[in-house]
Amino acid sequence: MAIVAADLVWVLISSALILFMLPGLAFFYGGMVRRKNVLSSMMHSFVAMGVMTIEWVVIGYSLAFGTGNWFIGDLEHAFLRGIDLYSVSGTIPTYAFVVFQGMFAVITPALISGAIVGRAKFSSYIAFIALWGLIVYAPVCHWVWGGGFLTGEALDFAGGTVVHVTSGISSLAILVFLGKRKGYGIDSIKPHNVTLTLLGTGLLWFGWFGFNAGSSLAANEVASLAFITTFVAPAAAGLSWMAIEWMSTGKPTALGFATGILAGLVVITPAAGFVTPMAAIVMGLIAGVICYKAVMLKGKLGYDDSLDAFGVHGVGGITGAILTGVFASVGATGLLLGDSHQLFIQVEGVIITIVYAVVCTLIIGFVLQKTIGFKVSESEENIGLDKTQHGESAYNI
Amino acid sequence: MAIVAADLVWVLISSALILFMLPGLAFFYGGMVRRKNVLSSMMHSFVAMGVMTIEWVVIGYSLAFGTGNWFIGDLEHAFLRGIDLYSVSGTIPTYAFVVFQGMFAVITPALISGAIVGRAKFSSYIAFIALWGLIVYAPVCHWVWGGGFLTGEALDFAGGTVVHVTSGISSLAILVFLGKRKGYGIDSIKPHNVTLTLLGTGLLWFGWFGFNAGSSLAANEVASLAFITTFVAPAAAGLSWMAIEWMSTGKPTALGFATGILAGLVVITPAAGFVTPMAAIVMGLIAGVICYKAVMLKGKLGYDDSLDAFGVHGVGGITGAILTGVFASVGATGLLLGDSHQLFIQVEGVIITIVYAVVCTLIIGFVLQKTIGFKVSESEENIGLDKTQHGESAYNI
Amino acid sequence: MAIVAADLVWVLISSALILFMLPGLAFFYGGMVRRKNVLSSMMHSFVAMGVMTIEWVVIGYSLAFGTGNWFIGDLEHAFLRGIDLYSVSGTIPTYAFVVFQGMFAVITPALISGAIVGRAKFSSYIAFIALWGLIVYAPVCHWVWGGGFLTGEALDFAGGTVVHVTSGISSLAILVFLGKRKGYGIDSIKPHNVTLTLLGTGLLWFGWFGFNAGSSLAANEVASLAFITTFVAPAAAGLSWMAIEWMSTGKPTALGFATGILAGLVVITPAAGFVTPMAAIVMGLIAGVICYKAVMLKGKLGYDDSLDAFGVHGVGGITGAILTGVFASVGATGLLLGDSHQLFIQVEGVIITIVYAVVCTLIIGFVLQKTIGFKVSESEENIGLDKTQHGESAYNI
Amino acid sequence: MKYVIAIIRPERLESVKRELQKVEVNRLTVSAASGYGAQKGHLEVYRALELEVNLLEKIRLDIAVNDNFLEPTIAAIQKGAKTNSGHIGDGKIFVLPLEDVIRISTGETGSDAI
Amino acid sequence: MKYVIAIIRPERLESVKRELQKVEVNRLTVSAASGYGAQKGHLEVYRALELEVNLLEKIRLDIAVNDNFLEPTIAAIQKGAKTNSGHIGDGKIFVLPLEDVIRISTGETGSDAI
Amino acid sequence: MKYVIAIIRPERLESVKRELQKVEVNRLTVSAASGYGAQKGHLEVYRALELEVNLLEKIRLDIAVNDNFLEPTIAAIQKGAKTNSGHIGDGKIFVLPLEDVIRISTGETGSDAI
Ligand SMILES: Nc1ncnc2c1ncn2[C@@H]1O[C@H](COP(=O)(O)OP(=O)(O)O)[C@@H](O)[C@H]1O
Ligand SMILES: Nc1ncnc2c1ncn2[C@@H]1O[C@H](COP(=O)(O)OP(=O)(O)O)[C@@H](O)[C@H]1O
Ligand SMILES: Nc1ncnc2c1ncn2[C@@H]1O[C@H](COP(=O)(O)OP(=O)(O)O)[C@@H](O)[C@H]1O
């Protein structure tokens, strides 16, 4: 099949947009930490652009999209072997496909960083994402998109399960494993610069159009649908988060609105090309409320999901995957169209993913703990990770 | 008519670029206010991405682009009724058209926020933009682009009248209505962080390529023309603002240069696809000077156009609409090609829009004032809107 | 030849991405200077968007791409004479081609600003870039891309020589000419805000996809190749910089990682469409190490390359140009495929460019020095350039 | 000699400075501060978690004066910093004893150096 | 009256405030500072150039108190600022004499105004 | 004991610190400040509106010293902060009486704690 130039443009520009989400994530997270941890937090996203990118082209792509078996690909395309300028995937050059998929592999582990800011050793973080990318991301990606046992079964337009459930649930596992930041719940830990978080929100939403609408992999009607749902769902989720917050606390915060937008983006991800715009609005409204409740839980249960990686990506991802099975109506049929089987598959996919991701994440965490160590010392945490891990400080007089 | 994939890509990516202007506007404005109002100011742009987005797909689109009459559309497409995956507008899916037009509906009311920062209640601001979007934006959009009485008459390539005249003149109306900030003209009110404003400028210019060049709605020669004029006009306007400022005050400021760029972007908006690049340069040079003078007026007349929403968007929009009637030469004929009639129509369009927008804005303001109130109390203004309206502060130690 | 809509979209969107690199550069550099010079530093990039844009359409384009002779173009297209809506260059409207090439003309002189922050008069900086654009950039661009004596000879996919060698080597010339900042090496000169530099890094990488992949000027396989190499090379370079820094100093800094990314982007620029992804990784790894060493040199030799414009763009550009002659294998043959002649041409191109750029830069510097002066006074340097050159300060309470 | 520290509302800085100039006090040092005081703070919410925050932004002025300038300085600050007829949160002035002053550029000391 | 200046770790601000409230000291001014002290600093690297940096972020508290409040204030700060059994870098408290206080809003002076 | 407050140019911080180390004064607190003084300010323009601004960025040092260290400390600051033969704007040093010091980590007080 020949390449289609417009599809190629669409996929490449979408890829650039997704890469741009990494600085977006860095700023989203970086604004919420304290001044002494801002570079450390941002580096979690930036270093993923280094480590995961190289890992992807060296081996990850082949494990995810190589033929392999029901569980994982193989090494036929390690080091991009067998791919050249004229290789084609669908209607685009394979190089473009490798890049597009690579962006997902880069951002997914970086999402987890929000759960462990301020207390993980930088070297261990790097080891963690590298291992997690191979052991968790590559297989799950293969299951859902790369020819594995969920391919063609579970509906996951742009990575609700592959990206958000995996990273969100792994966040929960690793933060429970690592324990709280010192002083959590005692000393106040306020965002040091909310404008950075708003900047990150803007970058993320902008980039998410590439993430979701680009996932059609072609410049067609479905891309337009995925685009409009990615426009309205976060808008609705921002509003519903704001509404519930306003009613509960009397104040609609900027940080809350931004978090609501993010929740909406997460929830619509698996559904973007399968639901109508009106269903997307409903999904967004639900997302704002559910994620708000999930984040409140943290206060009640007392675990330290520092930047709500689980509260937003985990809970939002699960909600999105399930609601996709409810609302799907375009090119797929969900519960509302009477297909309870699809919903069942969605739930099944989520559960398998959760179990797999939790077990693997804990094993990785355990191995790292026993070998190179994972958490910084209390005194390093005190001084801040920018100084102790990176030998620098973000702001200087 | 079938969809054209390249047009679809062009319109979708342009839409993403326009959405990106909202964070741009948030930062452009946010840098200019004082620390205590920065989140409040940024939220004016962000919340528009929530409120106006939902309003647009629920009813705004139908009012603007539904068949209706000379004045306004109808409700045939409320809740996007009658539109599905395969609906086509021109050469693109209707979903893409809805999104693209929706971006304009989102940003236009947010522009007004620059006139009222630091003194409007957040709840009233939300009510204001929601009402203004229905009462002012939707009809004017219908007049000029949606089949109303100015469609095919007035030249407005990308919204000089629809976007900038409406928002700019409404800014003037509402700021006169609301009155000054406390301490205006007595205490010094300096931008708290000019680097944020420069960031905003960069985001705005970048996004404006989608705004203007995307308005061709097709990947064709006119898009290229609109792109190059959007490249040179702001450059020229930045330079002419800088020159006049340098001569008058002895110093070329960064904030001034940034404002000049914005003035150039505003002025070229209605003309982008109708004038040659050289005419665009001339228009840009004029824009820098005229908007500089307009902003100075504020100092003389003593009204508090806090962030110059009127000085730049209002005056720049009117200038642009009129100059389009002078310089149009590509696919239209302006005064310089001997067509004084076009100029007449431009002026007429501007005047009707001004009268309509001013009257409606004042009515909306009046009704809000009498019902939920519009302005915060003096003490809230003192403490700052971030704390009093949103219960948070942007920067924490 | 008719225009191809997908190519048009690709070139226009790439142009927007490149323009976006200017704010990227402003933030990359602006974060590294002290608070008192941040606006001055950012204005170096912003004002280039004004001055160079206008210069380009008035005369620069014609000098670079007009027929002319082996050395320089002519004035046939001054003021874009002879170009209209329907003019075509390759498969895209000439207006689009003018814009795309214009973006390179805008960013190249701005790169030099990193060498002279904190000590050049603003007026002289403007004069410098305007003259340099005409005397250095336009001819070298003509040589390599516009029909001059290196066209079709030297491999320079997206401007390794035309952009980075010229600007990097001119940086060295002008910084030696201007001398150090006051207190350099005595007082500590630390970056005032590393988060700004990280933001700039994100913007630059994002924009660089337009810079490199857009240089194919068509939506084809080569664009995809250039895109993937621009994805992996900076990733590799960031990692190799980080590794060497970690080993030498014990700490992997965020600023170092960001600088490594930039080095990788520079190195892959001339090679982007000519090498395989794996070769791009190797080039990136080399870039990180070589540029790290080059930047260390500064400490040893004691010159004040304030923001390492020479260390990164000069050394990185030369490295890239030469390595392109080694690794080229797609649509060209480098040393590794046994073609030593290409390597010879690459070296020749670099040497001629170096000599030409150094001589011209020194002449321009000398003339400016003797006429309007170049360096600010010691007391102005003390107070900071934001106040003395622009009459403003970035941050206000 | 006295060392005067005044905590005022950020937005009153200009008017305080104007009043100080009238009494020929032109030298002072300004810094950003935050204050807890009688002025009630506000509830802040961070992602569904409530925090009561009373820390409000303030400006701190440091002014070294000769004894005969103390009265006019205090009066000027009061005049410039007071909102209307005086509100909670307008701030405070602290007067500390000052033993010596040295002007770095000239080496002058004592009252001459102030 | 005394003017107390305390330099503490940023992350102890909340607990110091809590202790101060217990002894009914509710008014204070907070500002950002950086400190050199016994606490060892860290090596910083800027683009391949090494710098030894010992400047660490601190919080500075200014508290004006009446004499009878001095002891409890100091004790409260100590309690709130101390990490476990005390570490280098926990900070210092300086006590300066304070001659007068003026409350801007009311014009009250002396101990009443504190 | 004395409490020394010095206002210096930001760019002289490193050299002042170096001089202080020579006389074995290694503990100090640094903060950002802005100053009005004899040094002339600059015209600032915000969007076509002119403002005369005289507020210049400064660094403030706080150093508590025992009496016998006062002279060397002042001398060191002067040496490090002076630009060439001294320029307006080089800054000032204020010496205040200090009644007590408490080291939080150990509870030491007085001169030992400095
Ligand atoms: N005893 C004190 N010690 C230190 N700072 C104080 C003290 N009292 C007040 N302040 C400072 O002055 C500011 C204003 O005081 P506040 O009690 O709010 O109002 P008022 O000045 O009208 O009494 C506070 O925010 C705080 O920064
Ligand atoms: N003599 C002093 N003068 C001014 N500030 C001091 C002095 N001694 C300590 N500090 C401040 O207190 C902080 C903590 O002091 P440090 O010596 O690190 O630990 P400790 O408080 O345990 O002695 C320092 O960073 C500095 O800001
Ligand atoms: N009397 C004073 N009270 C408080 N701060 C002062 C006083 N005099 C000078 N300063 C501070 O010292 C800085 C330098 O003083 P300035 O008069 O400009 O130069 P010089 O130190 O050479 O006299 C000022 O910007 C201000 O911050």
Pocket test for ligand 1, best of D92, D93, D94, D96 (most atoms within 8 A of CB): D92
For residue D39, give the ligand 1 atom closest to its CA.
18
| Interchain CB distance below 8 Å, C199 and A391 | no
Taking alpha carbons only, the member of E54, E49, E74 closest to residue E63 is E74
| Dist CA A141 CA A135 (whole Å) | 11
Q: Tell how far the Cα of B278 is from the centroid of ligand 1, in angstroms.
A: 61
Which residue's alpha carbon is nearest to atom 21 within ligand 2? E91
Q: Is C91 on the interface with A (CB under 8 A)?
A: no
**A177 Cβ partners below 8 Å, 6+ apart?**
A361, A362, A365, A366, A369
Give the per-residue pLDDT at C216. 97
- Is 60 exceeded by the pLDDT of residue C88? yes
Instruction: Give contacts of B 327-366 with C, CB under 8 A.
Output: 330
| Dist CA A305 CA B270 (whole Å) | 49
pLDDT < 50 regions, chain A = 186-187
pLDDT exceeding 70 applies to what percent of chain F?
Answer: 89
Q: Tell how far the Cα of E6 is from the centroid of ligand 2, in angstroms.
A: 10
Partners of residue E58 on adjacent β-strands? E33
| Interchain CB distance below 8 Å, F56 and C35 | no
Enumerate the residues of chain B whose CB falls inside 8 A of the CB of residue E30.
Answer: 397
For residue F105, give the ligand 2 atom closest to its CA.
22
Ligand 1 binding pocket includes D56 (Cβ within 6 Å): yes
What are the C-alpha distances in Å from E112 to residues C13, C21, E1, E66? 68, 59, 11, 9
Q: Is E43 on the interface with C (CB under 8 A)?
A: yes
All chains having 3 or more CB pairs closer than 8 angstroms to chain F: A, B, C, D, E
Is the confidence metric ipTM above 0.90 for this complex? yes
Give the per-residue pLDDT at B323. 97
Nearest Cα of chain C lies from the Cα of D111 at a distance, in angstroms, of 27
| Dist CA E76 CA E88 (whole Å) | 18
| Pocket (CB within 6 angstroms of ligand 2) | E 7, 35-39, 56, 58, 88-92; F 27-29, 62-64, 103-105, 114
- Is 50 exceeded by the pLDDT of residue C187? no
Give the per-residue pLDDT at C382. 79
Point out the residue among F31, F36, F74 whose CB comes nearest to the CB of D27: F36
Higher pLDDT: A70 or F51? It is A70
- Closest chain E residue to D73, measured at CA: E102
Give the per-residue pLDDT at B183. 61
Nearest Cα of chain D lies from the Cα of E35 at a distance, in angstroms, of 17
Nearest Cα of chain B lies from the Cα of C384 at a distance, in angstroms, of 14
- Is 60 exceeded by the pLDDT of residue C63? yes
| Block residue for tokens 């991701």 | A357
Q: Sorting pLDDT into bands at 50, 70 and 90, what band is E10?
A: confident
Q: Is E14 on the interface with D (CB under 8 A)?
A: no
Tokens encoding B95: 């979903």
Q: Tell how far the Cα of F113 is from the centroid of ligand 2, in angstroms.
A: 9
Q: Is C221 on the interface with F (CB under 8 A)?
A: no
Point out the residue among A194, A213, A238 whose CB comes nearest to the CB of B50: A238
- Closest chain C residue to F33, measured at CA: C397
Enumerate the residues of chain A whose CB falls inside 8 A of the CB of residue B390.
Answer: 251-254
Taking alpha carbons only, the member of C80, C81, C101, C79 closest to residue C90 is C101
Give the per-residue pLDDT at B204. 98
**E strand segments, chain A:** 88-89, 92-93
Handedness of CA C355, C356, C361, C362 (dihedral sign): positive
Give the per-residue pLDDT at D57. 82
Ligand nearest to the backbone CA of D33: 1
- Is 70 exceeded by the pLDDT of residue D42? no
CB distance A35 to E56 below 8 Å: no
Higher pLDDT: A379 or E77? It is E77
Candidates C36, C181, C187, C386: best to mutate against F (most CBs of F within 10 A) is C187
Candidates D29, D30, D66: best to mutate against F (most CBs of F within 10 A) is D29
Pocket test for ligand 3, best of D5, D20, D27, D101 (most atoms within 8 A of CB): D27
Q: Sorting pLDDT into bands at 50, 70 and 90, what band is C299?
A: confident
The amino acid at residue A300 is: K
Q: Is F8 on the interface with D (CB under 8 A)?
A: yes
Element spanning F42, H or E: strand F42-46
Q: Sorting pLDDT into bands at 50, 70 and 90, what band is E41?
A: low
CB distance C232 to A53 below 8 Å: yes
Ligand 3 binding pocket includes F82 (Cβ within 6 Å): no
Q: Is D58 on the interface with E (CB under 8 A)?
A: yes
CB distance B161 to B353 below 8 Å: yes
Give the per-residue pLDDT at A187. 47
Q: Once rounded to an integer, what is the mean pLDDT over residues C161-166?
A: 96
Taking alpha carbons only, the member of D30, D57, C143, C310 closest to residue B394 is D57
Point out the residue among A249, A298, A308 whose CB comes nearest to the CB of D45: A249
Give the per-residue pLDDT at C221. 97
- Helices B315-327 and B340-371 cross at an angle (nearest 10°) of 160
- Is 80 exceeded by the pLDDT of residue F42? no
**E strand segments, C48-155:** 88-89, 92-93
pLDDT tens, residue by residue, C365-388: 999 999 999 999 987 887 889 989
Q: Once rounded to an integer, what is the mean pLDDT over residues D46-74?
A: 86
DSSP secondary structure string for all residues of B255-316? HHHHHHHHHHHHHHTTTTTTS-HHHHHHHHHHHHHHHHHHHHHHHHH----TT-IIIIIIHH
- Is 60 exceeded by the pLDDT of residue C186? no
Handedness of CA B205, B206, B207, B211 (dihedral sign): positive
pLDDT < 70 regions, chain B = 1, 182-188
- Closest chain C residue to F16, measured at CA: C187
Q: Residue A312 phi/psi, 5° resolution? A: -100, -55
Q: Tell how far the Cα of E18 is from the centroid of ligand 2, in angstroms.
A: 22
| Interchain CB distance below 8 Å, A232 and B53 | yes
Candidates E29, E30, E61: best to mutate against D (most CBs of D within 10 A) is E29
**A12 Cβ partners below 8 Å, 6+ apart?**
A96, A99, A100, C10, C209, C213, C219, C223, C224, C227
What are the C-alpha distances in Å from B210 to residues A218, B14, B216, B226? 20, 4, 10, 10
Which residue's alpha carbon is nearest to atom 13 within ligand 3? F91
Ligand 3 binding pocket includes F55 (Cβ within 6 Å): no
